[in-house]
């Protein structure tokens, strides 16, 4: 079992040198320990920055009394000059004065144990710190603010209400108490099930935000795939030559496209060849398209569309795809026929690249539509699995209530409702195990 009885200390700022470094002390003896290691001009006052000296530095200390601190314990934060040596000295002195070095994520774990935040919010803290794009940060921040927590609370309240009524009918069977008709119960259950289903629809979109998407570039040789890859990355990452068959292996890199983290993959040009290396390259190219969330099929606008292009257009017709007409700085050899809906770009001049970026974003959004604008994005696989479990339990309850031979006894329906509530309580951490907490907080950094 985790305890909040002792006082923990850690450097809260990133490792290495910096303008300022912060040491955080949290626990019942935070103030005593701070007093032992600081020479204060005036005593620490709640939420006031106080000037002080340590053995080797001038610092500013701020005291946040329990329960209104990040962790819910007494917290003292000491801002020193950002020297790793000085910060380590402060931590060592704090430890000599009776505190213990914090485990990764232990400050946030305490906030959870002290009821300051729920598990969804604690996980959102880690997501926020790990966010690579502004959109990821936004989704994490929404969860930290409690959007998902609130939605789960209202689902749980509806389940609680239903449970109470069913239990009441169960307690007074002879007196003819019928707090709920079977039809009414079925309708209420279905409504709750639909709310959970809507949240689950957000899982794919959430995954897109959290994990990003894979976009593969496809096309026949020499159409300008690697040039497009480089142009989207803004770097000369892949080799470009006028010789068809330049790219043999997969080349991939990460790029931020309109806030989404995109793993962009350049592939070998597809053609029939007896070159063993190229055959392997083409086979890898096809695998990359199959694994991609979106394929950019590149055709050269300065050359007439031939059978090879047509074959590839046909081959990729059923996957999420955008047709990109490259080399549009050159005189065009064809006009866009409506059925191609090609996006014209030039990797050389940059024409059309912004349009392509927003088409990529739209294309990925279309594959992962938002069901409702104010539904929380479910970005976490743990949450998704538990919501699915709650939904399955509710579907069972609906079946029981609407069984063809008349509703099944309330006891059975109640068991399903309890299962559903248990799953929801695991999402927010009302019900949890030490192992799960250890697993979740292990991904945090020290000092958070
Ligand atoms: N004018 C012009 N030339 C381009 C453009 N994009 C690519 N090229 C030229 O087209 C040739 C082939 O470009 P790559 O990017 O290597 O083509 P690729 O599709 O990767 O070719 P493979 O790797 O052989 O399949 C090079 O000579 C490029 O300079 C463009 O937008 N405008
Ligand atoms: Mg290439």
Sequence-distant (6+) residues with CB within 8 A of 218 are 225, 267, 270, 285, 289, 295, 296, 297, 298, 312, 316
The confidence score (pLDDT) of residue 28 equals 97
The confidence score (pLDDT) of residue 18 equals 87
224 within ligand 1 shell (Cβ under 6 A)? yes
Alpha-carbon distance 397 to 419, whole Å? 10
The confidence score (pLDDT) of residue 139 equals 84
C-alpha distances in angstroms, 13 versus 24, 105, 330? 9, 13, 52
The number of the ligand 1 atom at minimal distance from the alpha carbon of 227 is 15
Ligand 1 atom 26: residue of nearest CA: 242
Query: Which ligand minimizes its atom distance to the CA of 245?
Result: 1
The confidence score (pLDDT) of residue 295 equals 97
Alpha-carbon distance 214 to 293, whole Å? 5
Check if the beta carbon of residue 368 is closer than 8 Å to that of residue 338. no
C-alpha distances in angstroms, 294 versus 34, 257, 315, 317? 55, 13, 14, 12
The arithmetic mean of pLDDT across residues 91-103, rounded, is 96
What spacing in Å lies between the alpha carbon of 340 and ligand 2's midpoint? 22
Ligand 1 atom 1: residue of nearest CA: 327
The confidence score (pLDDT) of residue 220 equals 96
The confidence score (pLDDT) of residue 202 equals 78
Ligand 1 atom 21: residue of nearest CA: 222
Check if the beta carbon of residue 379 is closer than 8 Å to that of residue 139. yes
pTM over 0.95: no
User: Which residues are paired to 263 by β-bridges?
Assistant: 214, 254
The confidence score (pLDDT) of residue 407 equals 74
The confidence score (pLDDT) of residue 135 equals 78
The confidence score (pLDDT) of residue 238 equals 94
The confidence score (pLDDT) of residue 392 equals 96
The confidence score (pLDDT) of residue 371 equals 43
Sequence-distant (6+) residues with CB within 8 A of 201 are 371, 375
What spacing in Å lies between the alpha carbon of 228 and ligand 2's midpoint? 9
pLDDT above 90: residue 263:
yes
- Condensed to tens digits (0 to 9), the pLDDT of residues 159-201 reads 999 999 888 877 776 655 566 677 888 899 999 999 999 888 8
Range scoring the smallest mean pLDDT among 143-147, 298-302, 416-420? 143-147
286 within ligand 1 shell (Cβ under 6 A)? no
Check if the beta carbon of residue 346 is closer than 8 Å to that of residue 300. no
What spacing in Å lies between the alpha carbon of 284 and ligand 2's midpoint? 14
Ligand 1 atom 32: residue of nearest CA: 327
User: Which residues are paired to 326 by β-bridges?
Assistant: 300
- Condensed to tens digits (0 to 9), the pLDDT of residues 9-30 reads 999 998 888 899 999 999 999 9
pLDDT above 60: residue 103:
yes
Instruction: Take residue 304 and report the two structure tokens written for it.
Output: 């007439």
89 within ligand 1 shell (Cβ under 6 A)? no
327 within ligand 1 shell (Cβ under 6 A)? yes
pLDDT above 60: residue 204:
yes
- Condensed to tens digits (0 to 9), the pLDDT of residues 16-73 reads 888 999 999 999 999 999 999 999 989 999 999 999 999 889 999 999 999 999 999 9
If pLDDT is split at 50, 70 and 90, which confidence band does 109 have?
very high
The confidence score (pLDDT) of residue 446 equals 83
347 within ligand 1 shell (Cβ under 6 A)? yes
Alpha-carbon distance 362 to 74, whole Å? 48
The arithmetic mean of pLDDT across residues 205-220, rounded, is 87
The number of the ligand 1 atom at minimal distance from the alpha carbon of 219 is 19
pLDDT above 80: residue 129:
yes
- Condensed to tens digits (0 to 9), the pLDDT of residues 269-279 reads 999 989 999 99
Alpha-carbon distance 143 to 128, whole Å? 10
222 within ligand 1 shell (Cβ under 6 A)? yes
Strands 343-344 and 321-326: parallel
The percent of residues above 90 in pLDDT, for the chain, comes to 68
If pLDDT is split at 50, 70 and 90, which confidence band does 208 have?
confident
245 within ligand 1 shell (Cβ under 6 A)? yes
What spacing in Å lies between the alpha carbon of 227 and ligand 1's midpoint? 5
The confidence score (pLDDT) of residue 411 equals 85
Alpha-carbon distance 205 to 208, whole Å? 5
User: Which residues are paired to 404 by β-bridges?
Assistant: none
What spacing in Å lies between the alpha carbon of 323 and ligand 1's midpoint? 16
The confidence score (pLDDT) of residue 249 equals 94
If pLDDT is split at 50, 70 and 90, which confidence band does 374 have?
low
The arithmetic mean of pLDDT across residues 224-252, rounded, is 95
103 within ligand 1 shell (Cβ under 6 A)? no
368 within ligand 1 shell (Cβ under 6 A)? no
Sequence-distant (6+) residues with CB within 8 A of 410 are 166, 167, 169, 170
227 within ligand 1 shell (Cβ under 6 A)? yes
Helices 106-113 and 119-130, interaxial angle, to 10°? 160
If pLDDT is split at 50, 70 and 90, which confidence band does 367 have?
low
223 within ligand 1 shell (Cβ under 6 A)? yes
The number of the ligand 1 atom at minimal distance from the alpha carbon of 347 is 31
Mean pLDDT of the chain: 90
If pLDDT is split at 50, 70 and 90, which confidence band does 386 have?
very high
What spacing in Å lies between the alpha carbon of 218 and ligand 1's midpoint? 13
If pLDDT is split at 50, 70 and 90, which confidence band does 373 have?
very low
What spacing in Å lies between the alpha carbon of 280 and ligand 1's midpoint? 21
The arithmetic mean of pLDDT across residues 212-236, rounded, is 95
The confidence score (pLDDT) of residue 337 equals 65
230 within ligand 1 shell (Cβ under 6 A)? no
Higher pLDDT pick, 446 / 50: 50
pLDDT above 90: residue 394:
yes
pLDDT above 50: residue 372:
no
Ligand 1 pocket test target in 219, 220, 224 with most atoms within 8 Å of CB: 224
What spacing in Å lies between the alpha carbon of 270 and ligand 2's midpoint? 10
241 within ligand 1 shell (Cβ under 6 A)? yes
The number of the ligand 1 atom at minimal distance from the alpha carbon of 247 is 23
What spacing in Å lies between the alpha carbon of 283 and ligand 1's midpoint? 21
């Amino acid at each position: 079992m985790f305890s909040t009885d002792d006082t923990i200390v850690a450097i809260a700022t990133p490792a290495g040198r910096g303008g300022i470094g912060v040491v955080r002390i949290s626990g019942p003896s935070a103030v005593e320990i701070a007093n032992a290691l600081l020479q204060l001009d005036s005593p620490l006052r709640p939420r006031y920055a106080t000037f002080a000296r340590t053995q080797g530095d001038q610092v500013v200390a701020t005291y946040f009394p329990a329960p209104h601190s990040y962790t819910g314990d007494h917290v003292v934060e000491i801002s020193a000059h950002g020297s790793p040596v000085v910060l380590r000295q402060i931590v060592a002195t704090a430890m000599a004065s009776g505190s213990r070095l914090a485990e990764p994520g232990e400050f946030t774990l305490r906030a959870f144990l002290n009821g300051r935040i729920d598990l969804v919010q604690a996980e959102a803290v880690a997501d926020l710190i790990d966010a690579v794009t502004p959109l990821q940060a936004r989704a994490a921040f929404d969860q930290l603010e409690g959007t998902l927590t609130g939605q789960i609370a209202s689902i749980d309240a509806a389940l609680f209400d239903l449970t109470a009524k069913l239990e009441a009918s169960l307690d007074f069977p002879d007196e003819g108490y019928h707090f709920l008709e079977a039809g009414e119960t079925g309708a209420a259950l279905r409504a709750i099930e639909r709310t959970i289903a809507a949240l689950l629809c957000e899982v794919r979109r959430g995954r897109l935000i959290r994990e990003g998407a894979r976009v593969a570039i496809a096309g026949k040789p020499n159409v300008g795939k690697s040039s497009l890859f480089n142009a989207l990355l803004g770097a000369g990452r892949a080799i470009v030559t006028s010789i068809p068959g330049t790219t043999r292996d997969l080349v991939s890199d990460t790029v931020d496209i309109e806030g989404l983290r995109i793993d962009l993959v350049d592939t070998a040009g597809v053609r029939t060849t007896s070159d063993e290396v190229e055959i392997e390259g083409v086979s890898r190219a096809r695998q990359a398209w199959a694994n991609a969330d979106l394929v950019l099929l590149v055709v050269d606008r300065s050359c007439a569309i031939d059978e090879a292009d047509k074959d590839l257009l046909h081959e990729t017709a059923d996957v999420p795809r955008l047709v990109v007409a490259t080399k549009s700085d050159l005189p065009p050899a064809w006009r866009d026929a409506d059925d191609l809906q090609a996006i014209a770009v030039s990797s050389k001049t940059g024409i059309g690249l912004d349009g392509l970026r927003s088409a990529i974003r739209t294309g990925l959004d279309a594959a992962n539509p938002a069901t409702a604008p104010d539904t929380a994005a479910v970005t976490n696989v743990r949450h998704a699995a538990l919501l699915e479990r709650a939904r399955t339990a509710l579907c069972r309850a609906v079946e029981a209530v609407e069984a063809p031979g008349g509703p099944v006894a309330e006891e059975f329906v109640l068991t399903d409702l309890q299962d559903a509530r248990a799953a929801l309580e695991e999402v927010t951490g009302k019900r949890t195990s030490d192992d799960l907490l250890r697993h979740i907080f292990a991904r945090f950094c020290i000092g958070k």
